[in-house]
Amino acid sequence: MFQCDIKPFRCFHFYRILLLALLALSGTIYIKHLSNPCTIKDLGYEVSNTRKQYCRNGLYDLLSLRPRKKGEPNCSKIIKGDSDAIKRGLQMNAFTKGKYVHLNEQNYTNITQDCHYFKEFRKYITIPMSKEEEDFPIAYSMVIHEKINMFERLLRAIYAPQNIYCVHVDEKSTEQFKAAVRAITSCFDNVFMASKPVQVVYASWSRVQADINCMEDLLKSNVPWRYLLNTCGTDFPLKTNAEIVRTLRTLNGKNTMESERPSAGKRRRWEYHYEVDDHISETETKKLPPPINTPMFTGNAYIVVCSDFVKYIFKDPQVQQFIDWVKDTYSPDEHLWATLNRMPDVPGSSPYNDKYELSDMNAMARMVKWSYSEGEILKGAAYPPCTGAYRRSICVYGAGDLSWILKQHHLLANKFDPEVDNIALFCMEEYLRHKTIFNTDV
């Protein structure tokens, strides 16, 4: 049904007929299949509106992620919240559940043997879409362990040639998964695998170590990235690269992440020593207080931090001590970043004064719908009910969630899963691609 996920070669054939040729020739890109070929300049703002429109239409012909079959749900209506379209999307999802054939690990290993073919076939955007974006590279730390198709769709959605991407694959992932990720990353100069992979144990220090290993690798790259964002395997962006760049510029060097005063329950996570083998468990051993002069805060694993923040945590002795101290606490990802971001000397941080309390909804890093905060907004709920399914109290978004989450300011949302609702993911892809090329909603 989604031709490109099921019958890629036929889809590619169709694509070939369009005579795709995005050629990078001494910095000039031609969109060649048009009778009046376009250069990258023609996408910009110096040219007349008709020329720009003509060239952007040409680019969209090549790169649209719109379904090409009749009877597909209308994503334009779904993202506007049209209840009939959403109902049809949900029905179609229920009908096709478990029947989708997504590209698997062997497929990716296979297809990426010809990188040029892979990028065309999967419709990667291989040119910077604007000077503003080109001048503002972003670093991503992506921590994943399974579901190759979801990873590749996330990468495609956040990919831009001027950015840099570190992918940390869990040591415990299967060899086929690692091989497929290695094959995908090898097709890009600016996507690489973390040099020191670790085995990630849920709620343990290893989750932070994975990000830190990527950060260390990203600092070594010669891409002058300005901000770092981290993702896990079930995230998906709500904004285009251009929108992300604009948001980061307005942050003006500040970081954005959830950071709030901890409850008594959360405090327990660092009052006791925790032991880790293949899972984490509390002991009766009390820990010493944290080796910092400022209070502890809690948040989540998702951060948006400036490059100086990342440099600082590797060289400041007090931060190093604090990092050593949190290693035997429960889920340090949820208090390490949140606390660092309220320490006055840390680049991009905010004062630890109460006026700077920031909830996950007010921070921009991640849109997450928790089961216990959903309901009727008129009756005081934080967000409307989840239309997908809950996993560990977190909504895996369905098609009916899109119109609301797309109105939020967050750069990314968690969680998406094609096995729960492929239409939701599919409409997000189409929406973002359309907006990337035309700067308007689909």
Ligand X SMILES: *[C@@H]1O[C@H](CO)[C@@H](O)[C@H](O)[C@H]1NC(C)=O
State in angstroms the smallest separation of the CB of 75 from ligand X.
Answer: 8
Which residue's CB is nearer to ligand X, number 77 or number 153?
A: 77
State in angstroms the smallest separation of the CB of 151 from ligand X.
Answer: 16
- CB proximity list for 75: less than 8 A, separation 6 or greater: 66, 426, 427, 430, 431, 442
Binding mask 158-177 for ligand X (x = CB under 6 A): --------------------
State in angstroms the smallest separation of the CB of 110 from ligand X.
Answer: 4
Looking at 3, 57, 64, 76, which residue binds ligand X (CB under 6 A)?
76
> Judged by CB under 6 A, does residue 8 bind ligand X?
yes
Q: Which of 382, 390, 274, 392 is nearest to 335 (CA)?
A: 274
- Near ligand X by CB under 6 A, which window of 103-111, 196-204, 248-256, 422-430? 103-111
**Tokens of residue 87, six digits:** 């109902």
Looking at 3, 57, 74, 371, which residue binds ligand X (CB under 6 A)?
74
Which residue's CB is nearer to ligand X, number 33 or number 66?
A: 66
Looking at 91, 104, 195, 283, which residue binds ligand X (CB under 6 A)?
104
Which residue's CB is nearer to ligand X, number 107 or number 174?
A: 107
- Near ligand X by CB under 6 A, which window of 69-77, 126-134, 233-241, 323-331? 69-77
Q: Which of 166, 176, 169, 189 is nearest to 119 (CA)?
A: 189
Question: Does residue 134 have an active-site annotation?
Answer: no
> Judged by CB under 6 A, does residue 106 bind ligand X?
yes
State in angstroms the smallest separation of the CB of 77 from ligand X.
Answer: 5
Active site residue: 334, 374, 419, 430, which one?
334
| Token pair 């949140």: residue | 338
- Near ligand X by CB under 6 A, which window of 71-79, 216-224, 359-367, 413-421? 71-79
Cα separation, 437 vs 125, in Å, equals 10
Binding residues for ligand X, total number by CB under 6 A: 9
Distances (CA, A) of 42 to 12, 29, 39, 52, 79: 26, 10, 5, 5, 29
Looking at 39, 110, 186, 221, which residue binds ligand X (CB under 6 A)?
110
Which residue's CB is nearer to ligand X, number 114 or number 282?
A: 114
Per the CB < 8 A criterion, the answer to whether 269 and 329 are in contact is yes
> Judged by CB under 6 A, does residue 3 bind ligand X?
no
Q: Which of 65, 165, 144, 146 is nearest to 105 (CA)?
A: 146
Cα separation, 244 vs 27, in Å, equals 24
| Binding residues for ligand X restricted to 9-28, rule: CB under 6 A | 9
> Judged by CB under 6 A, does residue 77 bind ligand X?
yes
Query: How crowded is residue 179: how many other Cβ atoms within 10 Å of its Cβ?
Result: 15
Q: Is 185 helix (H, G, I), strand (E, B) or coil?
A: helix
Pairing of strands 227-232, 138-144: parallel
Using the 8-state DSSP alphabet, how is residue 440 labeled?
S
State in angstroms the smallest separation of the CB of 318 from ligand X.
Answer: 52
- Near ligand X by CB under 6 A, which window of 47-55, 104-112, 190-198, 349-357? 104-112
Query: How crowded is residue 341: how many other Cβ atoms within 10 Å of its Cβ?
Result: 26
Cα separation, 282 vs 272, in Å, equals 7
Which residue's CB is nearer to ligand X, number 111 or number 129?
A: 111
Which residue's CB is nearer to ligand X, number 79 or number 138?
A: 79
- CB proximity list for 228: less than 8 A, separation 6 or greater: 138, 139, 140, 141, 215, 218, 303, 304, 305, 306, 307, 309, 310
Which residue's CB is nearer to ligand X, number 77 or number 342?
A: 77
Cα separation, 90 vs 73, in Å, equals 9
Looking at 107, 130, 174, 221, which residue binds ligand X (CB under 6 A)?
107
Catalytic site positions: 334
Contacting positions for ligand X (CB under 6 A): 8-9, 74, 76-77, 104, 106-107, 110
